[in-house]
Chain A
């Protein structure tokens, strides 16, 4: 009954797993989706193990045992891809989708463009704008924070492709941010604290925090620890960056 290459199935399942993990899905969702895909093509005894850095899958098909191991690198967060792959795996389970069709749709999802750069900067703009009011600032503070926020988002996207340690990227960004908000506060007489906090919130590792908690709750402890350390390192980098600038400003 084997009308496809089982190795190809193993590759496709791990590929879907990698996209999910990079886009920021929880660990149990990655494991479950991979098992789901394998089962929909007739595999039995499916075992998948996922951490934010490594994927392992193993299944048997017609009495033969197959494995695949893949290294995962952290990538751009893209929650839309998680929704689409989830739908795709459900579709493959309910209807008979040929492996070629599945691969084609998976590639489509993988290559799908995220929001354009100007739109993401606009997102950062309204984000910092909203935060300034949330922290009880006025319109002037909100506009300053939004300007700094959109500039920081622009830099964040521009330097995200550099193979430079994430820690230093965040230190650098948070230094620039604090410096700019001090300058803005001097020029426009807005509240320095509110402007800094509102734009700093853009760098907060929200996804890492949320996933660290949710992974730990569902007893994926390794993933939980990895995400938690990621969140702590990022938060420390942000704090260090603005601390450095504030110390320098005090020295002047």
Chain B
């Protein structure tokens, strides 16, 4: 599960992130991978996707504040390991083998996992927007 560091790091290179930001993007990916694997082993895969994407987005917000770089820099590369590519592949494999029951089941699971990720990012991004508004209004009052 520490290997998601390399996955996110490699994506960082492909997306042309440079310097220390690249390392932190990889680190963010590793944190997401660890959270995901830990929760998946002890329970629900949807919960794992949801919490992992929450944690990744939260860390991206913190890193963006600390390193004064746009949030997407850290989010995109770290998020990709969570995308349910395996589920998509197995759905297709079942379709090819004319096993439509399994295909439908894995397909719906995959869709649910994707929705869980979307929920995680949406929740945290909304929170970030609200916080930004709050900081702005406070600075205005002072």
List chain A positions with a Cβ less than 8 A from chain B.
Answer: 24-26, 29, 76-83, 86-87, 114-115, 119-120, 122-135, 153, 193, 196-197, 200-202, 204, 206-207, 209-211, 213-214, 216-218, 235, 239, 242-243, 246-247, 250
Contact = CB atoms under 8 A, between A and B. Distances in A.
Contacts of A25: 70, 72
A135 B75 CA distance: 21
Contacts of B72: 24-26, 79, 82, 207, 210-211, 214
B4 interface: yes
A114 B16 CA distance: 6
Contacts, number: 156
Interface of B: 1, 3-18, 21, 33, 68-70, 72-73, 75-77, 79-81, 83, 85-86, 88-90, 92-93, 95-97, 118, 121-122, 125-126, 129
A87 B21 CA distance: 15
Contacts of B85: 197, 200-201, 204
Nearest to A243: B92
Given A114-B16, A217-B126, 5 more contacts: A123-B13, A130-B3, A133-B3, A207-B76, A216-B122
A122 B7 CA distance: 12
Given A79-B76, A201-B83, A214 B121 contact: yes
